[in-house]
Amino acid sequence: MKPFTYERAKSPAQAAAAVARDPGAKFIAGGTNLLDLMKLQIEAPTHLVDVNGLALDKMEPTAEGGLRIGALVRNTTLAADERVRRDYSVLSRALLAGASGQLRNKATTAGNLLQRTRCPYFYDTDQPCNKREPGSGCSAISTAAEGEGTAVTRQLAVIGSSQACIATHPSDMAVAMRVLDATVETVRPDGRARVIPIADFHRLPGDTPHIETTLERGELITAVTLPRPAGGTQLYRKVRDRASYAFALVSVAAIVQRNGAGRVALGGVAHKPWRDEAADAALQQGAEAVASRLLAGAQPTHDNAFKLPLAERTIAAVLAQARA
C-alpha cells in the first residue's frame, strides 16, 4: 500500500470540497471495497477524506410517504429495519443475499452503490484494462476474440457493454434500488444539493468505462430516498456459483401487483442494474415477453452465453412465485 494523508471531514460540503481540490483524494467510509483496491494498488489515493463523522447514518420517513436512508447507514441496519422489511422487502432480500455478515456490518448505503467491478482483468494489474487505465485496452474482449477457453468472461456482461468494456456492476442492493425507483441525494463541492434518479446514476461503459456514475468530481452522496411503497409481492432471487459470499451470475428483482402489473430489474448482466420500462409494460404478457425485451440486443461471449437462458428461467421462476 502506498503512503497517503488523511483527514476527518466536519461537514458534507467540506468533505466534497476537500476531494474536489485534490485530484488524488478519495472519500472513505466503510472501506470494504476501497481498502482492497488500495492493497492491490488498483486504487492509489494520495489523500483520504473520512466521512464517518458526518451524521449521515439515520433513516427517516419523507413527507411523500417514502423513506430517506442516510449514506452511512450500514447494510446490516438497512436490511433489518422494520420499515424496509415491511414496505421494501425486495431491498432487504437483496442486501441479505450480498457479501457476508461481517462485510454488511461495515458496508454503507452509498459505498454499496459505488462498488467497482469484480472483473478478473480489472483486478489483474498485469493485464490491460480500460476501466483501470483508460485507453489501455480490454483484455476480456481481446482474449474472448481468440476463441473458446482463452478468456475468463463467465461473470461478465451480456448486454449494455461496448467495445471498450464488458464488465458488470457487482451490487445486489443497487438492483433493488433500481426496481424501487430510488433517488440519490448529493452535495457538490460548492455546497449545492442535487437529486439524481437511480436510473441515471450509473453509466454504461461507452468509450469511457472508467467513468462509472454521473457524479461530478468531489460530489458526495448524502442519502438515498425511496418513494412511497409500491406494495405488491416483492422478490429478489440471486443465482450464483455457491450459496453464499459470491457475486451474481444473474439476479432478478421484481415487484408484482395483484393485477399482474409490476417491475423487473436484472443484476449480473450489465455495467449497471438493468431495467427497461418496456419490459415492465409487458409483464402481463408473461415471463417470455419480459425476458425478450430486457435482453434484446444482448451480445454475450462464448463463455457467458449461458446467462441468457439462465436469466429467462430466473425471470420465469420469480414471476411464477410472485403470482402464486
pLDDT digits (tens, 9 = 90+) for 23-62: 999 999 999 999 999 999 999 999 999 999 999 999 999 9
Residue 244: exposure state from Cβ atoms within 10 A (0-12, 13-18, ≥19) = exposed
Contacts with 240 (C-beta within 8 Å, 6 or more apart), sequence order: 246, 247, 248, 249
Compute the distance between CA of residue 186 and CA of residue 181 in angstroms, rounded to an integer. 16
Shortest CA distance to 51 belongs to which of 186, 184, 192?
186
Give residue for cell 492493497.
39
Q: What is the b/e burial string over 177-195, where b = at least 16 CB atoms within 10 angstroms of the residue's CB?
A: bbbbbbbbbbbbbeeeeee
Compute the distance between CA of residue 265 and CA of residue 179 in angstroms, rounded to an integer. 6
Query: Are 180 and 88 within 8 A, CB to CB?
Result: yes
According to the model, what pLDDT value does residue 145 have?
Answer: 81
Reported pTM = 0.96
Query: Are 304 and 153 within 8 A, CB to CB?
Result: yes
Query: Are 239 and 250 within 8 A, CB to CB?
Result: yes
Distances (CA, A) of 306 to 70, 300, 311, 312, 319: 38, 9, 9, 10, 20
Distances (CA, A) of 235 to 199, 239, 312: 20, 13, 16
DSSP string, 164-190: S-------SHHHHHHHTT-EEEEE-TT
Longest Cα pair distance anywhere in the chain, in angstroms?
58
* Count helices and strands in the chain by DSSP H and E runs: 14, 11
Contacts with 88 (C-beta within 8 Å, 6 or more apart), sequence order: 67, 176, 180, 226, 229, 234
According to the model, what pLDDT value does residue 61 have?
Answer: 98
Cell of 173: 442492493
DSSP string, 94-140: HHHTSS-HHHHHH-BHHHHHTPPP--HHHH-TTS-BTTTSTTS-BHH
Compute the distance between CA of residue 296 and CA of residue 73 in angstroms, rounded to an integer. 36
According to the model, what pLDDT value does residue 149 have?
Answer: 60
| Strand 193-197 with 220-226, pairing | unpaired
Which ranges of the chain have pLDDT less than 70? 147-151
Cell of 193: 444539493
